[in-house]
């Protein structure tokens, strides 16, 4: 069976794409999320992603956690989500190439809160550059199912997208950071 490197943002978002992809691919999870803040949140999501990958019997690889790289790529960008998607998909494409895995995708494609068109566009561009195939399936139909599975498995269900800005937007909405956000996702999950 062909392999696919699946960028994994968290355990709950892994469940539905895993269900769809596992019949056609040998799935390897790649947890590469320097956007997540603070580090304790990064680690909490990583632990959930590991538990989920283990249950599914998927191999799990962790990328480098370096928040400075995330802040570097979003600096002076009108649309910080676009830069954030690019960073994580670029790292996934690069890792797939390094491991000689011809396919990659992302669990971000399951979230109705993300800009799916932008993710598909970025994924395809990166795939072209590395001579890989980006699987751009729209998994959003399974978002609710995935959340329910995650709830019943006792997984941690985060309430914000991941970065410090999304945390503030979600929990301290009186502070208006919309200008910094640009036109990307919603700052939610």
Using CB under 6 A as the criterion, which residues of the chain lie in contact with ligand SF4 when the complex forms?
35, 80-81, 84, 161-163, 165-166, 184-185, 187
Q: CB-wise, 48 or 166, nearer to ligand SF4?
A: 166
On whether the CB atoms of residues 160 and 10 are closer than 8 A, the answer is: no
Q: CB-wise, 96 or 161, nearer to ligand SF4?
A: 161
Q: CB-wise, 15 or 84, nearer to ligand SF4?
A: 84
What is the C-alpha separation between 166 and 174, in angstroms, rounded? 13
CB of 140 to ligand SF4, least distance (A): 15
Q: CB-wise, 149 or 161, nearer to ligand SF4?
A: 161
| Of 40, 84, 39, 109, the residue nearest 180 (C-alpha) | 84
CB of 179 to ligand SF4, least distance (A): 14
Which secondary-structure segment (H or E) carries 110?
none
CB of 2 to ligand SF4, least distance (A): 28
CB of 106 to ligand SF4, least distance (A): 11
- 37, 39, 69, 78, 127 from 66: Cα distances, Å: 10, 10, 6, 21, 23
Q: CB-wise, 59 or 159, nearer to ligand SF4?
A: 159
| Helices 67-74, 80-98: inter-axial angle, 10-degree rounding | 130
The per-residue b/e assignment along 100-130, b for 16 or more CB within 10 angstroms, e otherwise, is ebbbbbbbbbbbebbbbebbbebbeebbeeb
């Amino acid at each position: 069976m062909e392999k696919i490197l699946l960028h994994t943002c968290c355990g709950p978002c892994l469940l539905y794409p895993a269900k769809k992809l596992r019949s056609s691919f040998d799935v390897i999870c790649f947890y590469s999320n320097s956007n997540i803040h603070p580090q304790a949140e990064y680690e909490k999501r990583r632990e959930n992603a590991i538990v989920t990958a283990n249950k599914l019997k998927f191999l799990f690889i962790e990328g480098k956690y370096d928040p400075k790289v995330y802040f570097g790529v979003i600096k002076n960008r009108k649309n910080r989500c676009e830069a954030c998607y690019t960073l994580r998909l670029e790292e996934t494409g690069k890792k797939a190439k390094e491991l000689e895995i011809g396919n990659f995708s992302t669990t971000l494609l399951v979230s109705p809160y993300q800009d799916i068109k932008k993710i598909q566009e970025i994924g395809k561009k990166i795939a072209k550059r590395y001579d890989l195939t980006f699987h751009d399936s729209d998994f959003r139909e399974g978002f609710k199912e995935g959340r329910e599975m995650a709830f019943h498995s006792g997984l941690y269900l985060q309430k914000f997208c991941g970065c410090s800005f999304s945390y503030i937007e979600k929990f301290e909405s009186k502070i208006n950071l919309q200008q910094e956000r640009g036109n990307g996702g919603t700052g939610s999950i």
